[in-house]
Chain A
Amino acid sequence: MRDIWRWSVLMPALLLAMPVLVVFTSLFTPQPDIWLHLRQTVLADYVINSLLLATGTGIGALLLGTSSAWLISQYQFIGRRYVQWMLLLPLAVPAYIIAYTYTGMLDFSGPLQTALRSQFGWHYGDYWFPEIRSLGGAIIMLSLVLYPYVYMLARTAFREQSASLLEASRTLSLSPRRHFWQVALPLARPAILTGTALAMMEAFADYGTVQYFGIATFTTGIFRTWFGMGNQVAAAQLAAMLTSFVLLLLVLERWSRRKIRYYHQGQQHQAPMLRTVSKTRQLLLLLLCLLPVCLGFVIPAAQLISWALSNYQVTLNQQFAQLVWNSFSLAAIAAGISVMLALLFAYAKRLRQDAVVQTPVRVAALGYAVPGTVIAIGVMLPLAWLDGRIDLLAEQWFGTRTGLVFSGSVFALLLAYSVRFLAVSLHSVEAGLERIKPSMDNAARSLGCTPLQVLKKVHVPLLSGSVFSALLLVFVDVLKELPATLILRPFNFNTLAVRTYELASDERLADSALPALAIVLVSLLPVILLARSVDVASKGKN
């Protein structure tokens, strides 16, 4: 065990795995009183609402994502080239922001209902209008911004199906419609389910939307138990329950994918020709595909812009600049740490192909599935304990008190972000590293390069692209992250996401528009990056 790679992986991996382990070890400290109370009152709500929210969002994202992916992958219509990347735009809108925006538009005092009342002379109670602040409303909001996960994966899966499969179906006297149900859909199923599982994990993790809509779920329950009832262990136990649901989902998803590698047999194949239809039908297809784009991005973004324009003289001030500075510097530091860890882990995996290195890396990368609320609890508990110890020792030995060295500082936030987003940066860096074949290293060495020169002349130039996209992805994810930031931020330290949440909670929706818009605009950057890769891929295939 004197291998430096093993130690340099094991230590940080253990640190990153700690929060989840802490959350689960809380189960060994039973809290019978509070659980009796929870069982008698809200626990059933937490379980049912969380499951309904995740399932409903999964179904919504599945329907929107799969249908748009099928239309884009099969039909030629006007504007298809643009719509196929525009369908990714809702990824830039965090769920809580779309929820605030639609609430502002559809509430009793919102423009739509006001217009209806003045048009028809109705008054309060005269008419029925769907209540946006409901479980159904939350499901719609989440589906609208999470369907791109399904869309992206399903679109690739459909395009990768060989044209001869459709022809084979037809010579076996199947109509194209039956081919969709009997061949195309079953073949794309693993990809579609992976996208759906991602959307469901996000739904389980959501805090901002359900808190604002007043729906009792696990995430709001964890907040309530921690801050409202002051029982941190019981909060951690709730967090462990929520994590178990998510991990179960993860296992189901892995299981559904068990045969995926056999579905691509590396047969030479031709992507199917796009079907041509009449002009009227093309227009219909265009409108169908634009619908999720408008609902999930264009309308909320337009509302945010109009709010922000209406009051930017008041809101665009010194305080806003401070918010931007806080958010950006925090996100940049977190991105830097996350990518450095990813590089370390990716190289260790490449150089040491054994379980001692592979397993901890894989465990550490599970953090992306764990809701931010859970990670925050898992970071807070041990750090608060550690701070208490340090404080005590310092008082005994030096006669001074140190206060909250770790749990009250940015350190706690950075640790939580590293746990949550390691998988994002690791995925990107590993994909880049995979392209550098070991034979390239050998070639460079045989041409007279030292290992350091190989790194400089071969790896750095080839990896820089993936490192950059890893930085960008983590940066944006940190910027959007709400619940962990809310729990762990140092006293009086505000970010764009937290300020948006606070203003919206105070029903100052118009004032929250400026920070929200800032988040959406920056979040567009990785979406554009993604859209470009979609474009390149489709150019190669069409």
Chain B
Amino acid sequence: MLNIQKVSIAYAKHNVVNNICFSLDQGQIGCLVGPSGCGKTTLLRAIAGFEPITAGSISLAGQAVSAADMLLAPEQRQVGMVFQDFALFPHLNVADNISFGLRHSTKANKAAKVKQLLQLVGLPDLAQRYIYQLSGGQQQRVALARALAPEPKVLLLDEPFSSLDAELREGLAREIRHILQQLNITAVMVTHDQNEAFAMADIVGVMQQGQLQQWATPYELYHKPANRFVADFIGRGVLLPGTMLDAQQVQTNLGRFVQRYSSALQAGDKVEILIRPDDIVHDDTSNVTALVVEKAFRGSHILYRLTLNSGEQVQCLALSHHNHAIGEHIGIRLDLDHVVLFPK
């Protein structure tokens, strides 16, 4: 449905987006995450047609819309967009905002569409309200309904939750995912918050300095990060040094591990191994112990920072009732499902 081929975008010869490729099928929800300034919003605006691209091509439903020498105007692309500030029209009420993009429909069709969309986003009684009478979350849903009304080929969402309260965000993200799935809409969202991305997307792209670092499912991103940046950006964790015993086995201070993937590593190579907080299981019966140097209470869990006897630090996510004081030695066990190695 959406196909991004080797797209680059430059301002005054400075590449902001560099040689990016990905594609989405009908109904798939993609998400671009990355630190601010990584080029994710620029890429989204290029898909909408607000930014020209300097190389590559963008096509929507098989039709080329952007190329190095071609730019189809945004109003001719049939893309829907939900803006960071929602950009709802304050002089129109909710119903008129939603039907704004339906200029060629009859009055009855417009009314039916507005009703159907308000039902869908869960605001059936607010059609006559003005925007200033709505809460932030309600404005968000109206913005979504307005973008969906003309039945766009692809829906773009630019940091759609950033102006909402933190406790609203994940719930709303899941709700919107549900709506988009019902409509079988192809969508791309941009965010800097990985939890939003995980709640929303089928497939996530991690961007840094204009490059797409990895394009994969949330599960893969967390457990099989393609490089150090992704490993560091997604989730928590530390990198422990290790030495390869052969192409598959690695020796660390926490023991010996086997990686299941083929690699070019050889015996004696120095590597680093990714240890997530949930890879280290707190076990009072274990004879491997570590010193608690820091703890953060998280309700159901406690996140400990531990110093191993060898001096390295790791994090450990323990159940909440395993409450230990700083300075205590606690037993740990390594439960490593996915061995992720980066050559040093």
Which residues on A are within 8 Å of B, measured CB to CB? 162, 164-165, 167-175, 182-183, 186-187, 189, 259, 262-263, 265, 267-269
Contacts and interface: CB of A to CB of B under 8 A. Distances in A.
Nearest to A187: B91
A170 B75 contact: yes
Contacts of B84: 164, 268
B50 A173 contact: no
B73 A170 contact: yes
A250 B163 CA distance: 38
Given A164-B85, A170-B49, 8 more contacts: A162-B85, A170-B50, A171-B80, A172-B80, A175-B73, A182-B100, A262-B131, A267-B86
B222 interface: no
A183 B81 contact: no
B91 A186 contact: yes
B74 interface: yes
B150 A168 contact: no
A172 B100 contact: yes
B131 A168 contact: no
A363 B300 CA distance: 64
A265 B73 contact: no
Contacts, number: 83
Interface residues of B, number: 33
Contact of A267 (B73, B85, B100, B156): B85
Q: Which 3 A-B pairs have the closest CB atoms?
A: A172-B101, A164-B87, A262-B132
Interface string B127-165: 000111000000000000011001010001000000100
B78 interface: yes
B132 A265 contact: yes
B252 to A, nearest CB: 47
Nearest to B81: A171
A167 B78 contact: no
Contacts of B89: 165, 168, 183, 187
B90 A187 contact: yes
A172 B96 CA distance: 13
Best-surrounded residue of A168, A171, A174 (most CB of chain B within 10 A):
A171
Interface string B293-314: 0000000000000000000000
B75 A263 contact: no
Contacts of A175: 73, 75
A169 B81 CA distance: 10
B74 A170 contact: yes
Interface string B69-107: 000011111111101111111110000000011010000
Contacts of A262: 90, 130-132
Nearest to A261: B132
Contacts of B53: none
A269 B90 CA distance: 14
B83 A172 contact: no
A259 B89 CA distance: 13
A263 B91 contact: yes
Contacts of A170: 49-50, 73-75
Given A171-B48, A263-B91, A268 B163 contact: yes
A272 to B, nearest CB: 12
Contacts of B85: 162, 164, 267-269
A173 B75 contact: yes
